Structure 1
């Protein structure tokens, strides 16, 4: 019965793809109809009217066939879904999800092993039809889907448009993220609320042997703390408006998959190369290894800071290093992950090109002359699973004991509509958000190695946070000279004015940012002319830039000497 259910689900998915393809051609018929209307109005001679009449008849026939094909597919899908529903009702049932259960307790829908599902199957579809119906019939789910649909085609961001995802989805999404993220399976994940101080154990002392009746020796345990904040990771996803018009089950399935994929993929990059508090994201493994001095905001109770930029960032190999010599170098380099803290296994992250290069280093010939390469998802000799992450640079390998990287996931996920509405493509754009922070709590348990004898890449470019970029790219005060010279990251300047007035021009980095100019408290039009107060005193010329939730104020203190 399970195989029959799976076959029906695949058939339904294929039919829905065919139906979506047909629906995508609706716009073509709308265009043809508009063209024919214009042709009818322009036809003047009997010959032209006859030609247009023939085209109209052909159009009507084509459109009727198109609509009939859509209707037939819709009926076929409904029939298949009815068959599927009947089969699933007869199938052995998992524990039911209680309607409108608000508490986030153990959710029995996760008894299905979400993490082991094939990538071509959506997590929500793995639930039985009865379970899916139960979820979408909950009051909080109905309210959520209704509000989500109301965002369709909005021309601008809506105040208060952020929606909290129903609790019933969270466990499913959390599990499903592990299918899209390679490293969430490797690191230690903790669910926390607010700013979190996570206690981590230091070196476990050795127990002391003594006489059976002797006094017991006291062991000294040392505990450290690391402080983790909460940063948002978010991704924009354009959604065809026809999906928003689809039934609740299909829409709910898309929500689970969209959020799981967009956030799961972002986590991997941050775990390896995250910029930390400066970039409002987790501190990545490589970023921490590359530090050359103790950060000024390093937690007082955290483990002692250690400089690792030479011992744990290494380059080996090169074109001349092959065979046993290469693997000997790699083994010694990987050995710098030695630690007494870990209780888990090692992982090694690299891109597919580096993985292929490793395989080429262990090519051997069997007794029968066959070529073999003994790299099958784990590093030979060194051990540890290999994770392929294509955003990594060629030749770089980052790895170590993943359980010594702590990733804190904040409770609650949200979804909101964005400004980036795609009208031409008939899409509405949504953004899924999750709050998280993390850091390697024992950074010496990790290494970054380049196998081409080149410097390891220690900084990775992340998508710019343009939604909160409230900076200027240019600031000009007539022909006056700013001191210091303008820099978008410098917010205070002085000017000794030579003229009686000047034109103030401020250009924001982001085109949509709001720019407000004021001189001595009075508003001035950006690009307008300001007349200076000439009494030898300094008066503030301020430029306030607002973008999203960010506000930056540039201040120029202007002094104009009194008239002689």
Structure 2
């Protein structure tokens, strides 16, 4: 049955790809329609200019142009109708296959193993012991029940079949069984320290989420008076599902081991990779193929072009909600008083009241040291059991934050949308020397602070808080940098032909020789560039639709006679 699900999923994905291609033709039809409207207006003007004195040759030319126009107009209508028919056919087929897939999913969704294990019988000669194992906190009975499921067994069997593959196997992408995904989601708190602090909302695809606006004030009246109508407004923000993931090395010895160990390794590796990326994105996501982070939102100095038109009003927070404390000369009491005031800038409006504060180990230890000075008896220290003193809120230690920075606020005001469907597939790279097979794991998320006013950034060492961080480079989706041959340098002979190449298939190379920055408006490379006597600097960039542009190549040549 799991194999049938995989086949149906692949077929649906392929049909959706075809459907998207057909939908993209709508823009082409719109362009053709506008061109026809322009031609029609021109022909109408030409017809109106015809008089009895107009030469027959000119009249014939206009008649011919009108006939061509009408033929083109009819061709457009025919093409549009054919495209609509094709789209309807694909939509119906997708709907039919999706219905079949949903029916299979429904039959396979057996109740998961109980999270409360059955109490084993106590032996008279030994005390009761509950045996627990590492596998996401599950008991041995729950582990056995999980890997005994048909869909999980089928999945693990196909994973083992990938061992030693040097190249990616076409069609070998595996959809992780839903029961394993549920385990991963339920245990994401083991890997992401922030996912339990914010609002996590599962969505099926790109979605608009309703957000309650300002709560109106009720109106006092006489007991028998008519009630006033209250207006409750709702804003909307749009969330998509950007993919997060990477390569997961699984030792071949584990692939050959028990089902429990294999499933444990896969989920643990996938969880660690995704968890770190989620935490960084919640705080620093730049909104480019990832969520918009809290620090990114607070640092905005003008309303972004992609701000949701139906979303809450954008407000400038880069001064009011990005703060710094100069601890020089402050007593511990004065320091904590200043910290409480700064953290209090975060507004609780529309939140559930729960707060979190993210900081690194050094920053946390600095707070603890000041707390010890504040109260030598240790009362405040004991009261700071991973919570912020006085202000309240959970302390979250994340060592990728800058020293002395604190970022946080009311977590429920950050919406993280989780798209369904993490996947695992064999990589085209195999670590034979280390005796490992490399898999890739992915999940999809998007999100943003719904109300930026609910968050604040504070540096406690009199420095500007750091609003950005470095994310793992998306090299797999970045065009390779062009290469120039022969390499830059000095050559004799009066002239030299320079060849530009790019390893990324289908990429176009644009270049300049005047020192300006190359882009898609510059000269398109289509053959060797001849450089002559003197100094010439070639700058080139490679561009491919759907990928990030390459880095810029700079190659300086000096040609002597």
TM-score exceeds 0.5: yes
In structure 2, the partner of 1:135 is 146
Aligned equivalent of 1:337, options 329, 346, 351: 346
In structure 2, the partner of 1:375 is 384
Aligned equivalent of 2:138, options 126, 129, 153: 126
Task: Map residues 462-541 of structure 1 onto 2, 5 A cutoff.
Answer: 462-472=471-481, 502-506=497-501, 513-514=504-505, 529=528
In structure 1, the partner of 2:518 is none
Q: Does 1:550 align with 2:547?
A: yes
In structure 2, the partner of 1:149 is 160
TM-score (norm 1): 0.66
In structure 2, the partner of 1:413 is 422
In structure 2, the partner of 1:4 is none
How big is each residue's C-alpha offset from its partner over 1:134-156, in whole Å with a ceiling of 9 and x where there is no partner? 33233322221122112212212
In structure 1, the partner of 2:191 is 180
Aligned equivalent of 1:215, options 226, 231, 242: 226
In structure 2, the partner of 1:423 is 432
**Distance verdict in 2 for CA 1:249–1:365, change over 3 Å:** closer
2:133/2:140 contact within 8 Å kept: no
2:183 partner SS: helix
TM-score (norm 2): 0.66
Stretch of structure 1 that moved more, 218-227 or 132-141 = 132-141
In structure 2, the partner of 1:307 is 316
In structure 1, the partner of 2:404 is 395
Q: CA separation in 1, counterparts of 2:379 and 2:158?
A: 59
Q: CA separation in 1, counterparts of 2:256 and 2:313?
A: 56
1:317/1:451 contact within 8 Å kept: yes
In structure 1, the partner of 2:91 is none
Which 5+ residue runs of structure 1 have no aligned equivalent?
1-98, 113-119, 480-498, 520-525, 533-541, 556-564
Tell me the CA shift for residue 500 of structure 1: 9.8
2:349/2:454 contact within 8 Å kept: no
In structure 2, the partner of 1:286 is 295
How big is each residue's C-alpha offset from its partner over 1:177-220, in whole Å with a ceiling of 9 and x where there is no partner? 11121111110000001111000001111222323332121111
Tell me the CA shift for residue 102 of structure 1: 4.9
Which 5+ residue runs of structure 2 have no aligned equivalent?
1-103, 118-131, 489-493, 511-524, 532-539, 553-561
2:423 partner SS: strand
Tell me the CA shift for residue 255 of structure 1: 2.2
How big is each residue's C-alpha offset from its partner over 1:286-315, in whole Å with a ceiling of 9 and x where there is no partner? 011011111111110011111111111111
1:125/1:253 contact within 8 Å kept: no
**Distance verdict in 2 for CA 1:408–1:106, change over 3 Å:** farther
2:294/2:455 contact within 8 Å kept: yes
Q: CA separation in 2, counterparts of 1:517 and 1:370?
A: 66
In structure 2, the partner of 1:351 is 360
1:273/1:287 contact within 8 Å kept: yes
**Distance verdict in 2 for CA 1:377–1:289, change over 3 Å:** same
In structure 1, the partner of 2:274 is 263
In structure 2, the partner of 1:238 is 249
User: What is the count of residue pairs matched by the alignment?
Assistant: 410
Tell me the CA shift for residue 335 of structure 1: 1.5
**Distance verdict in 2 for CA 1:551–1:339, change over 3 Å:** closer
1:199 partner SS: strand
Tell me the CA shift for residue 272 of structure 1: 0.3
2:133/2:139 contact within 8 Å kept: no
Tell me the CA shift for residue 284 of structure 1: 0.4
**Distance verdict in 2 for CA 1:110–1:170, change over 3 Å:** farther
**Distance verdict in 2 for CA 1:452–1:473, change over 3 Å:** farther
